Amino acid sequence: MGFKKKVVRRQVIEIVKESGKNGSARDPTLMPNTFKFAAEALKTMSERGGSAGSIVVSRYKSYNYKLIFALVMNTAKNIKIIKKIIHNLKIANEINEPNPFMLEILVGDLLFGKGLKSVQQNPVAAAIINIKDAIIKEQAGLEKEFSQDDNGQSVAKYIRANNLKSDMNHVISQLKTIGLTQLEYSKDKIKFKKFINKFKSIEDDKFMVDFHFPNDLIIVKPGVAAKIKKLDLIRKNKVTLQDKASYMAVEALDPQPAQKIIDACFAPGCKTSLIAAKMKNKGKILAYDINKKRLVDAIRFLKQQGVTCVRTELQDFSKVKLRRLHKVAEVETFDSILIDPSCSGSGITSRVDYKKSDKEAGRLKKLQAFQISLLKHALQARVSKTIVYCTCSTSIEENEQVVEMALKESGVGDKWDIVDVLPYWPQRGDSNYEFGEKCLRSSSEWLTNGFFIAKFVCKDIHVPPKTDDPKDNKERRSKKVKLEPKHEDEQDTDQEVSMDDDDEGASDEDNETAEIEEEDDDDEDDDEEEDDDEEEEEEAEDDEEDDASS
């Protein structure tokens, strides 16, 4: 059976389930599957984390997924207010609905969606509508308590000029063709805090070049970023959406043309493409990732971006043997290593990430163990002059604790210095740690996602002795992944997915690592994931009126 027929068949089954036995219209007193699926998606976000877009599309693509997505987004974006209203008015005690996630979806649709119009004859929905006035009154009182930033909403988006295919002057001229106006300022006459206030006060049809990186980054309001996705600038990969905090991790790495760099967890490839751009495609980037699907997607992304200096490896970097590292790259030492591992993603402000549960502590512990193993391996290897470790997490457990424990457990802490990361940046690491002030933290206060960066400089780089060990001369098998070009202007690059002969079998520990990686796919995706949510939300809003009546 063809794919389209399968989709149609599943949609028919859904309609039949919601219809009466005699084929009549759905009983209006029953809760529609769209609301049930939305509650399920919200539950998944709570227990496992992840973005609304990835969960809804992966599970309910063959159903009325745009309406499901709209229900989830309207709730998750405003979850703090919704939870407070349910708690303050004791709605769970007054209404016969044992599923707390369904209650949140219903209140979310009442206040921020379609006002429960499509389910008003359902008893639970009707009971909520009956106390609508009390809910709205409670909402009005809470809105002062919860500012936009506190409720998890981004106030800024960043457009990065892809200097492999364009430049800032071209990008600015293209933005002006769609009616946007550049608000200019003199950096000599303005301080960073004043710049932030100025940006917050501008209208949605204006943009500014970034205060610190005016040759690469443009800052816009979130709504503008969604409109730009429809331009040729995006389609032809002349720009990419990348948060400033993510950009700063590469700035701390300071890649230069002709350098040799390792990207230890490179998918989805946004930072890798920036490294290549700063290197002007001259040099060598050895990029590792353990997740094959994510790696293949990242290879396609890099190809579209015009990157030609990357060799990709399908492997857990923490398991890479030192002799293999040198043989694969055909160099003795590297200039730097970027370690940007899977993390909780707690710093991503504009991605809806509903994940407050009892399982979070255990999940954080697994992530921390994986993060330590990666950083410890890089420290012990001593094959690079510098290491940059970063996460889009705000938790100490994934940041300062990882740095401290990796240095201690590696046994080579005395061979490395932690140095100041971008000293001009106003927010630093936790001062309870001796090295805290040298690390960088960022947050929505500075118009970025929550982020952490630490930088290490090696005092005694290790150059491995040459050996006649036959294992070192063993021929490598490489598997090439063929990618069909999506755009006419894509460059024809040869990217490889390689696996070492002696690493094909996965141990239990490898499988556990892979499980962590898969669980946190969404956390790796930074702006790409959150921007997909915004684009999906925009489409859902366009179709929601029709969907509600279907």
Ranges of beta strands (E only) in 60-127 are none
Cα separations (Å) of 179 from 133, 174, 202, 232? 41, 9, 15, 15
316 is in an annotated binding site: yes
**Catalytic site residue from 270, 343, 390, 392:** 392
Region of 269 (left: φ > 0; alpha: ψ -120 to 50; beta: rest) is left
For residues 207 and 220, the answer to whether their CB atoms sit within 8 Å is yes
Closest CA to 82 of 40, 110, 114: 110
Number of helices and strands (H, E) in the chain? 22, 15
Distance CA 121, CA 181 (A): 48
- Residue by residue, DSSP assigns 190-232 as --HHHHHHHHHHS-TTEEEE-SS-TTTEEEE-HHHHHHHTTSH
For residues 446 and 196, the answer to whether their CB atoms sit within 8 Å is yes
Amino acid at 465: P
Neighbouring-strand partners of residue 159? 218, 241
Distance CA 75, CA 226 (A): 20
Backbone phi, psi, residue 379, to 5°:
-65, -45
Distance CA 396, CA 378 (A): 21
289 is in an annotated binding site: yes
Beta carbons within 8 Å of 522's beta carbon, 6+ residues apart:
49, 50, 51, 54, 345, 351, 353, 529
- 314-348 in b/e form (b: 16+ CB < 10 A) is bbbbbbbeeebbbbbbeeebbbbbbbbbbbbbbbb
Question: CB-based burial of residue 473 (10 Å sphere; 0-12 exposed, 13-18 middle, 19+ buried)?
Answer: exposed
Instruction: Please state, as a whole number, how many other Cβ atoms lie within 10 Å of the Cβ of residue 172.
Output: 16
Give yes or no: 309 in active site: no
353 is in an annotated binding site: no
Pairing of the two strands 478-480 and 157-161: unpaired
Question: CB-based burial of residue 281 (10 Å sphere; 0-12 exposed, 13-18 middle, 19+ buried)?
Answer: middle
Q: Which residues are catalytic?
A: 392
Binding residues are 289, 316, 340
- Give the residue ranges of the annotated binding site for S-adenosyl-L-methionine: 289, 316, 340
